[in-house]
Amino acid sequence: MAPHAMVPPNYFDVVRHIDDGKSSSVYHCRDVRESDPSAADVAIKFIPRGPETIDERVLREVLIVRKLQHKHIVRFREAHLNSRHLCLVFDYVPGGNLEQFVDSRGGTLPEHLARYFFQQLVLGMDFLHRVPPYGIMNRDLKLRNILVDDPTSEFPILSICDFGFGKERDPCVPTVSAVGTPFYFAPEILYRSSWEMRYDGKMTDIHGMGVILYKMLYGEFPEFNETGGETLEEKLLQLKVNTTKLDKSPPSLRALMLGLLEPVPSQRWSVDKVFKNEWFCLDLEEGSAALRQYNDAMLAQYNQWEDSRREVQSVERLKMMVNNARAEAL
Ligand SMILES: Nc1ncnc2c1ncn2[C@@H]1O[C@H](COP(=O)(O)OP(=O)(O)O)[C@@H](O)[C@H]1O
Ligand SMILES: [Mg+2]
């Protein structure tokens, strides 16, 4: 979409087009109301109005991003509705996404950098999975949905973006729809015999984290053997990840990769287990306990933070805006 086709909401100037996603276009814009120039940069996700593009997932995305506050999750500021688009305004992250970063480094990252990124991803995901009341699953973890602040830095900071397939883990509402990106699909989704079979999105997120780590280290997606078996359980039990690359890696990294990519969801590693893994903890001066404590503190303050945000757009206001956006462009 050409930049001139994009009418930013009032108070915003378009700087440049950043990227197109599944169903949106993202632009770097500036908030002209900001007196602090360093806070004026935003990324606006323009989602075309209309019943086809504005579905229940968009509503979920908006309500989820409103709930999140974490150093490794992109910060949502506000939403606007104009004549053609629902506009979601986020903090601008200038360094591109992690797919572009890995490509610019020749397709793989050195072990210490992959670990440093993976630690940040795990921290953000641990928080997401524990957000009150039920935790949130991402269901579309991939390199393109992770942003890099400064690619020239020795230690870039990552933030997870795109909660377009996100969902609260409400135990009363089973999760059945297969969403995400095929290379990142967990085996229990890939080999389901029926579209109605439930799965645990937290466990599919863990698989996604494994795929991301594998891709950063080895430049490829993990491969699984062909599987026989009749039922999903039999198929998953027979499934094995190809270990050719892993066999050349340190044993604790090999164990971590196999734990994350474990085909049987109930045997897949939990985040707790990842935090205890030797390879994961390398370079962490205070060990992973400090990471855990950071998230515990963020979650302990969570309810207070929610209360202090009464002045930001309310859930009711956002719901109404998304509902109005279902009407075709004016
Ligand atoms: N806050 C942001 N700052 C900078 N770039 C962003 C930001 N949010 C998204 N992007 C870029 O736009 C792309 C699409 O955004 P995303 O939220 O993933 O949309 P979609 O749901 O359409 O995939 C991302 O892959 C990333 O490259
Ligand atoms: Mg995306």
Is residue 233 domain-resident?
A: yes
Q: pLDDT tier at 172 (50, 70, 90 boundaries)?
A: confident
Same domain, 17 and 153: no
Please identify every residue whose CB atom is under 5 Å from ligand 2, which is an ion. 21, 145, 162
Helix (H), strand (E), coil (C) string for 274-314? HHHCHHHHCCCCCCCHHHHHHHHHHHHCHHHHHHCCCCCCC
Give the CATH number for residue 244: 1.10.510.10
Q: How far is the CA of 22 from the centre of ligand 2 (A)?
A: 6
Hey, whose CA ends up nearest to atom 27 of ligand 1? 97
Residue 140 a catalytic site member: yes
Helix axes 201-218, 111-130, angle to 10 degrees: 170
> Is residue 67 located within the same domain as residue 161?
no
Residue 200 burial by Cβ neighbours in a 10 Å radius (0-12, 13-18, 19+): middle
Based on the domain organization, do 172 and 224 belong to the same domain?
yes
The number of folded domains in the chain is 2
CB–CB of 210/257 below 8 Å? yes
* Helix and strand element counts for the chain (H, E): 12, 9
Helix (H) / strand (E) containing 26:
strand 25-31
- Ligand nearest to the backbone CA of 147: 1
Output the pTM of the full model: 0.95
Residue 306 lies in a domain: no
Range of the domain at 45: 3-92
Over the stretch 53-107, which tens digit does the pLDDT of each residue have? 999 999 999 999 999 999 999 999 999 999 999 999 999 999 999 999 999 999 9
Q: Which 8-state DSSP code applies to residue 266?
A: G
Instruction: Specify the pLDDT at position 306.
Output: 78
Do 178 and 285 fall into the same domain? yes
- Kindly state the tokens that stand for 3: 């930049």
Q: Is the dihedral of CA 196, 65, 321, 301 positive or negative?
A: positive
pLDDT at 3 (0 to 100) = 44
287 located within any domain: yes
Do 147 and 173 reside in the same domain of the chain?
yes
Average pLDDT of every residue of the chain:
93
Confidence band, pLDDT 50/70/90 cuts, at residue 181: confident
Q: How far apart are CA 225 and CA 210, in angstroms?
A: 17
Identify the pLDDT of residue 5.
Answer: 63
Pocket of ligand 1 (CB under 6 A): 18-19, 21-24, 26, 43, 45, 74, 90-93, 97, 144-145, 147, 161-162, 164
Considering the domain architecture, whether residues 163 and 138 belong to the same structural domain is answered as yes
Query: How high is the pLDDT of residue 4?
Result: 47
Confidence of residue 197 (pLDDT cuts 50, 70, 90): confident
* pLDDT of 325 strictly over 90: yes
| Contact (CB, 8 A) for 279 and 112 | no
